[in-house]
Structures are given as C-alpha cells and as structure tokens.
Structure 1
Amino acid sequence: MNHKILFRLVNDLVMTFLMLMAMAYYITGNMVHEVVGVVVLLLFIVHNFLNRRWYRAILKGKHNLRRILQIGINLLFLVTMIVMIVSALFISSELFPFISIDNDMMLRQIHVQTAYWGFIIMAVHIGLSWEMILNSLRRMAGITGTNRIRTIALRILAVLIVAYGVRSSFEGEMGSKLFVYNPFGWSSDDSTIRFLIDHLAIMGIYVCGTHYTLKFIHKQGKRVEKQSDIVL
C-alpha cells in the first residue's frame, strides 16, 4: 500500500478514537479531556493539510448528488470542529486558563452540543468515504477478488453493529444530548471500554446508513442510465 494512504488511514483512525475518548469527559476527567482535545486539534490540522487538494477542487468538475452531499457534509464537519475547538479554548481551565472566560454557560453549551453533533457528522463523513477505506484495507490485506461468504458475513456484522448501536443510542439518551443541554453533565457509570464500544456502535448506524444509501443511489443511477439507453 502507498505509504501516504497508510499514514492518512492511521491519522484518521487515531483522531476518531481520540474524539471518542474526549467525549468520555465524565470518565476520564477534565485534564485528560483537554490534553486529548489538543491532540485531536493537531491531528485534525494534519487531516485537512493532507486533503488540501480537495478544497481546491470543490468548484471543479461535475456535481452529482453524491458529490454535493459529500461537499456539504465535509464543510459542515469543518465548521462544527472549528466552533467546538474555539469554544473549548474559552472554557479551558487546565491548559489555557489565561484564555478562558469564567462561568460562561453559553460557551459550555455550544461546546457540548457541537461535540455531539460533530460526532454524528463525523460518522456520516466516514460513511461517505467508507468504500474508499474498504478498498484501501483490501489492498493492505492483499484481497483482490470477491467472496460471497465474506460479503454475507460482513453484512450480518454490520446489521448486528447497527442493532447494538440503536440500543446504545436509546440507553445513552443520544437524542437528548443532541437537542438538550444539561448544565450538570451527562454522567455515566460505564467503564471507558464500554463507553467506547457503545459509541463506536452508534457511529456504525450512521457509517452503515450513509454507505448503503450511497450504494442504493448509485444502483438507481445505473438503472436509469440503462433504461435511457434502451429508449434511445
């Protein structure tokens, strides 16, 4: 595999994992939360630097439904991350106390809710690139052909992840976290491992949903093209 592609995958994997760790605020504590947040910021900068050509090509080429959706989600994710990072600086009490604004509940609300929305948008963002990620992993593993049994097994696994993710989403009150701010914090009795598993499964809902929606749109587009060819 190309070393640049491998580096990108590792950077994005570590960034995703650390973003989940940052969400476990009431398990890890504030100091760990802020340190992890700084590392996520650095990895996010690297991520955008590595993908700088994408920004230059936004207005170029054809803009079909898939590409418009991708541009919209990517830009929304960028804005969400910027808002979350800027608000984090103003409420920091450990690493940047000289910048922070004391007792600003509005900034805390913005930071917390953009974090939860950023989590969902990040999952959709990954789902948009899931085909490319799978292809890269196949090349890394030396898999060149298709295997019906492997495909069925992976789809069953995807269903199980989504089912567990839906359960975890309801148990963790994810809907409330997206639309309601709790100034006392969303406490959790789960261990760090359980927290990560639950939130990875919740991510799986949006990764799988986005990936298979795009596949459906692609198939429908091909069907329409074939019907057009028959008519002509």
Structure 2
Amino acid sequence: MKKINDVKLALDVVMGVLFVLFFNKNVLGGLAFHEIAGLFFAGAYVTHILLNLGWVKRVTLKMFDRRLSWRVRGSYALNFLLLVSMTFIIVSGIMVSHVVFPNINVGDEGWFKMTHISVSFLVLALIGIHVGLHWQWVVNMCKKMTSVKKSRAWMRYVAQGVTLIVLLFGLYQINQTSYVTHLKSSVSAFGVNTQQTGIEGRESFQNGERSGMNGGSRSGGEGQSGFRRGGKGGNVNVNVANVILTYTGIMAVFVIVAYYLRKLSLYRKNKTVANPN
C-alpha cells in the first residue's frame, strides 16, 4: 500500500507540472513537446484512474445508498466532471494535432481548438479543487517521506504565512492572465451557437494575450498566441519556471479555498456531534 501511495503522489506531481506547462505552446520545443507530452499525460491520467479504480467501484455501487455521505457524493461528482472534461481535452487535442496525428481532418477544427483551450482553464480549477479536497492526504504523505511525525507550532505559523503569500500570488496571476474571462468562455464553449462561442472565445483569448504582455503573466498571452499560429511561435524564448509559477499559482487558489471550505465543514460537523442540542 505504501508503494502504491508513493506512485500515486509521484504520478500526480508529474501530471500537475505537465498540465500547467500545456498552457504555453512555446515551452520546451513548442508544438512537438505539447502533443507528445500530451499523449504521455493521457497515459498517466488513465493510470491514475486505474490506481483509484477500487474507490470508484465502491462508491458507484453505493451511490443509491442513503448512508453514503454528501461529501463522498460530491467528490464522486467532481471526479466524474474531471473525467468528462479531461477526456474532451485529450480527444480534441488529437483532433487538432499537427505533429503526432497530422492526417486527422475534422469538420470544424477552429471550434475544437477553441474549446480545447477554454475547457483547459476549467480543468485547471477542477484539479485545484480536487487537490484541495485531498490536501491532508498529500500532507500526510510528505510527512512520512520526510519522517516528520508531528508539526510544531512554529511550523504551522510558517505554513499559514506561506499559504497567504501563495493565495495572494495566485489571485494576482488570475487578474494578470484574465483567467476569469477564459473561465467564462469555457462555460459557454458547448453552447448551441458554436459560431458565437468561437467569436467569444477568440475575443477572450485576445484579451488574455493583451493582458499578458508584462511580467509573469506574459507566459499566458504567448501561449495562446502560439496555439493560434499552429505552434509557429515555438522560437519564442519562454521561461519554463515562469509558466509553472503562473498557472500553479492560479491552481493553488482553488486548492486553498477547497481545503479550508472542507476544513470548515468538518469543524461544523464535529461541533454538531459534540453539541447535538
């Protein structure tokens, strides 16, 4: 069991780093890296599901059991939404491939490109929420790996300070990359009028490109621009660490919010049990 958990943690870290790198099409060789690493990511995601298949089976069989908690139901629904959206990203990525699958022709390649990008912003938030709900497991795994059995008071204060800094940094990156605008386009990506969706999506990404001309958020604008050019922007010099920090920071906002909301929910539940009246 310990080895399986170690594999899960390592796999999740690799998947997380790869996913945030996908938001800039010019990193590590451009389009070739994006598509090849995307296939590796798809395989890693399938492996992630298989490693957690036991939990999926147990919850699925108990889904109509009234004793199943709403927390577990919510986690199941989140994972299902992640499965659907992640599958769409992988399939749409194959549909618009120019390197690995150059001979695949689709009717509306522009729509697939636009939704491939916009849904990715939604998945970034979903992954953050997923990690936040399981953050205690991550902390426990890290403690076991570092042989830290009990946190000291000063360590908790440092962790709280770092959390605040990361939250502020993530909120700053959300503003700089026009993340909310991208997120809105992902919500309307599957609207009835796909032509209108495409126009709205292009406008939002153009806005994101304009807002990403300075500082750390520059990586977001260049990434979308490179995508529209079919990867021709691969010669642009991109700071990989900058891309990772930008989108990991955005993801961290959802991790922190989900973690503390879950913590508050558990606190209220324990308080109700202790004082039923």
The alignment's TM-score, normalised by the length of structure 1, stands at 0.92
In the alignment, what sits opposite 2:171? Answer: 166
In the alignment, what sits opposite 1:134? Answer: 139
Q: 2 CA distance for matches of 1:204 and 1:22?
A: 17
SS of residue matched to 2:265: helix
In the alignment, what sits opposite 1:31? Answer: 32
Q: 1 CA distance for matches of 2:105 and 2:5?
A: 38
Once the two structures are superposed, the pairs formed by residues 70-85 of structure 1 within 5 Å of their partners are 70-85=75-90
Is there any run of 5+ residues in structure 1 with no aligned partner, and where?
Answer: none
CA-atom RMSD in angstroms? 1.9
How far residue 27 of structure 1 moved from its aligned partner, in angstroms, is 4.3
How far residue 159 of structure 1 moved from its aligned partner, in angstroms, is 0.7
SS of residue matched to 1:182: helix
* Amino acid in the other structure paired with 2:44: L
* Amino acid in the other structure paired with 2:202: N
The structure with higher relative contact order (CA 8 Å, sep 6+) is: 2
In the alignment, what sits opposite 2:258? Answer: 210
Once the two structures are superposed, the pairs formed by residues 36-185 of structure 1 within 5 Å of their partners are 36-59=37-60, 60=62, 62-101=67-106, 104-180=109-185, 181-182=201-202
Is there any run of 5+ residues in structure 2 with no aligned partner, and where?
Answer: 186-200, 213-217, 220-238
Task: Verify the 8 A CA contact 1:21 1:36 in the aligned structure 2.
Answer: no
Q: 2 CA distance for matches of 1:88 and 1:32?
A: 13
How far residue 3 of structure 1 moved from its aligned partner, in angstroms, is 1.5
Q: 1 CA distance for matches of 2:50 and 2:105?
A: 28
Task: Verify the 8 A CA contact 1:93 1:100 in the aligned structure 2.
Answer: no
How far residue 99 of structure 1 moved from its aligned partner, in angstroms, is 2.1
**Number of aligned residue pairs:** 229
Show CA shifts across 1:3-39 (max 9, x none): 2111111011001100111111244522211111111
SS of residue matched to 2:127: helix
Q: 2 CA distance for matches of 1:92 and 1:136?
A: 37
Q: More deviation in 183-192 or 132-141?
A: 183-192
Q: 1 CA distance for matches of 2:105 and 2:19?
A: 21
Aligned mate of 2:246, from 194, 198, 214: 198
SS of residue matched to 2:98: coil
Change beyond 3 A, Cα 1:120–1:97: same
Show CA shifts across 1:119-162 (max 9, x none): 11011111111111111111111111231110111011011000
* Amino acid in the other structure paired with 1:57: R
The alignment's TM-score, normalised by the length of structure 2, stands at 0.78
Q: 1 CA distance for matches of 2:254 and 2:115?
A: 23
Task: Verify the 8 A CA contact 1:18 1:40 in the aligned structure 2.
Answer: yes
- Percent identity between matched residues is 19
Change beyond 3 A, Cα 1:154–1:100: farther
